[in-house]
Amino acid sequence: MNEEKLPHGTGLQELPIDTRDFSFEQTFGSVSLSELPKDDFFVSEPLEIKDQDVNYVSDFCAAYAASSVSEDQEGVELVPEYTFSKAKQIVAGDRKASSEYELIQTINEFGLNLRDICRAACKFGFLERIYDPFHCNTAQRPPRADLADWRRWPADLEMLAFEHRKNSFFLVDGSYDFFDNIRATLWKNRPEQRSVIVGARWRPSWSRTKGGVISSSVYDVKETGGGHAFKIFGQMNVEIEGKKEMCLVAQLSNGQKWGDKGIFYFTRDVVNREIAPFGAFTFKDLSKEKAQTLKDLGISANASIARKILALLWYLVKNLTKNQ
């Protein structure tokens, strides 16, 4: 998102609380802090550092971040703008928008939250770059409002995008601070190369910081900025003011001229203060139905068969009593 050209307060939206979210910790269990490495590790290598183009005003950052997360598993370049348009379709459905005025209002409204784009990833999926009818990564792409309108994308693309649909998404949570909850999720997901989608209120000074290191010393917390989504894919010990400090490693979508060739490093205090309000999600190959069942039973996917049977019996007895 080019926050200097957008109206103040637009772009990625802070995440509203929704108790329907699937908890990553509850579903898959956690990792003790003693198990987490102190050395650098990465769950994936960026397939492509995407570039939203500072001369093209858009709010596609959530879709760019989600596409980058998905590319870790898919291994092909994806079209963020397509999934963004499908997220707008979902939002329009939530609002029961039916008149042309209501639809256009939803399309033109800048910004999504991370849950919106994750829902689109699971319901509609991602389109491979080779099928992009609008050449979205070139200067010939249509205006932002046209790309955000799902009705302008050929209907037969849904079948192609479905191939890269995610099964479900999970709220990155846990018993630690936000920084360590993300670290634990990354470490647990590393065999599957599953990174995490997050966001923050991006400060202009962050774009200019040396080497892409974002610590409290490089900006004034009162500095304003617009919401921006990005991907977290590992941890790295970075030298800050003469000392090594553990940071979360982020991949942005503003090309390689920002940060460390498009990569940024966030310290613990910045992550806990600036990223937490926007939430964090990761995708998993677990059906929504099974995830909902595990949530209802209050057990982990890793629980023993005996534990699952006991939980099911307890659930059945509780609901039988409730219905009498």
Which pLDDT value is given to residue 317? 57
For 242-254, give the DSSP string. TEEEEEEEEE-SB
For residue 111, give the nearest of 4, 198, 10, 224 by alpha carbon.
10
pTM as predicted: 0.89
Say if CB 49 and CB 264 are below 8 A apart. no
pLDDT band, very low/low/confident/very high, at 294 (cuts 50, 70, 90): low
Cα–Cα distance, 99 to 82 (Å, whole number): 22
Say if CB 13 and CB 112 are below 8 A apart. yes
pLDDT tens profile 31-76? 999 999 999 999 999 999 999 887 777 899 999 999 999 999 999 9
- In the chain, the percentage of residues whose pLDDT exceeds 90 is 71
pLDDT tens profile 234-271? 999 999 988 999 999 999 998 999 999 999 999 999 99
Q: What is the mean pLDDT of residues 100-115?
A: 95
Task: Sort 262 into a burial class: Cβ within 10 Å, 0-12 / 13-18 / 19+.
Answer: buried
Q: Where are the alpha helices (DSSP H) in the chain?
A: 24-28, 61-74, 80-94, 100-108, 114-123, 144-147, 157-162, 178-189, 204-208, 268-270, 288-297, 305-323
Q: Phi first, then psi: what are they for 67, rounded to 5°?
A: -65, -40
For residue 4, give the nearest of 263, 258, 226 by alpha carbon.
226
Cα–Cα distance, 216 to 207 (Å, whole number): 14
Please name the residues in contact with 266: beta carbons below 8 A apart, sequence gap of 6 or more.
214, 247, 248, 250, 274, 275
Q: How many CB atoms lie within 10 A of CB 27?
A: 20
Q: How many CB atoms lie within 10 A of CB 13?
A: 20
Which pLDDT value is given to residue 57? 74
Residue 24, both tokens: 């990553």
Question: Is it the case that residue 323 has pLDDT exceeding 80?
Answer: no
Q: What is the mean pLDDT of residues 295-302?
A: 62
Which pLDDT value is given to residue 5? 45
Q: Phi first, then psi: what are they for 44, rounded to 5°?
A: -160, 170
Q: Any idea where the domains of the chain sit in the sequence?
A: 24-286
CATH superfamily of 24-286: Cysteine proteinases (3.90.70.10)
Say if CB 122 and CB 20 are below 8 A apart. no
